[in-house]
Structure 1
Amino acid sequence: MSKRGGSRNPSSERARGRDREERREREREREREREREREKRERERETEREREREREREREIEREREIESEREREREREREREREREGERGREGERHWKNRREGHDGEKSGVCVCACTRERERERERERERERERERERERERERERGRERE
């Protein structure tokens, strides 16, 4: 005999209702969990993008510093070239110019009599002497070598 339209067992009806409700609840929970995971991944991606932007800002700052320090080095080289161009007319040269010897004709000669100039000349002379000494030492070494070769 068919149960169509007939009375159903109310307790099994309630059980099926509970099962459906539990399945829906589990499905909603899974959906919430997937949503939390999506939000978490999105936050992580946003954090990573923020870190990347920060690294890019750091690289930009570093490039700016490098460019500025290169400009500063170029300015320093330019100042150095300027000082070299000034040469004898520079601050150092002015002092020497005032200290030049006066010749027989009353004109200043090209020879400076500053202590620093004399000191530089003595230093050059000592350097030449050291170089001559090194050359003599090398010559003696060559003589010893030749002596060993003969033996």
Structure 2
Amino acid sequence: MEEKKKKEEEEEEEEEEEGEENKEKKEGEEEKEKKGEDKKKEEEEEEEEKKKKEEEGEEEKKEKKEEEKKEEGEEKKTKEKNNKIG
């Protein structure tokens, strides 16, 4: 009878240990998954920021070209005016 009780206690301890190991394993997997999601989100944000900067750069180039065209047009008008006077 004492052996039976001792065996039951050992089995309970093993079950508790297995339960704790499974719990720790599950928590570890959840933490890995969360880190993966965080990293993915961070990468997406970086990609979005990069795209935004590229778009801003393109917009600046476009504005600069328009400004250059405007200045060229004004220079041309000035030259034509000077030619008429001269």
- TM-score scaled to structure 2, two decimals? 0.82
1:42 aligns with 2:23: yes
Query: What is the one-letter code of the residue matched to 2:24?
Result: R
The one-letter code matched in structure 2 to 1:103 is N
1:78 and 2:71 correspond: no
Could you tell me how far apart the structure 2 residues matched to 1:61 and 1:103 are?
61
Shift of 1:67: 0.7
Q: Residues of 1 paired with 2:8 and 2:65: CA distance?
A: 85
> Match of 1:65?
46
Q: Which has the higher contact order (CA 8 A, sep 6+)?
A: 1
1:21 equivalent to 2:37? Answer no
User: Identity over aligned residues, as a percent?
Assistant: 29
Question: Residue in 2 aligned with 1:31?
Answer: 12
Q: How many residues align?
A: 79
Q: Unaligned stretches of 5+ in structure 2?
A: none
Q: How far is the alpha carbon of 1:87 from its aligned partner? A: 2.1
Distance 2:19 2:67 in 1: 71
The residue number in structure 2 matching 1:103 is 83
User: CA RMSD of the aligned region, Å?
Assistant: 1.8
The one-letter amino acid of 2:25's match is E
Distance 1:61 1:104 in 2: 63
Structure 1 residue runs of 4+, over 6 Å off? Answer: none
Query: What is the distance in 1 between the residues matched to 2:26 and 2:20?
Result: 10
Structure 1 or 2, whichever has the larger Rg, is 1
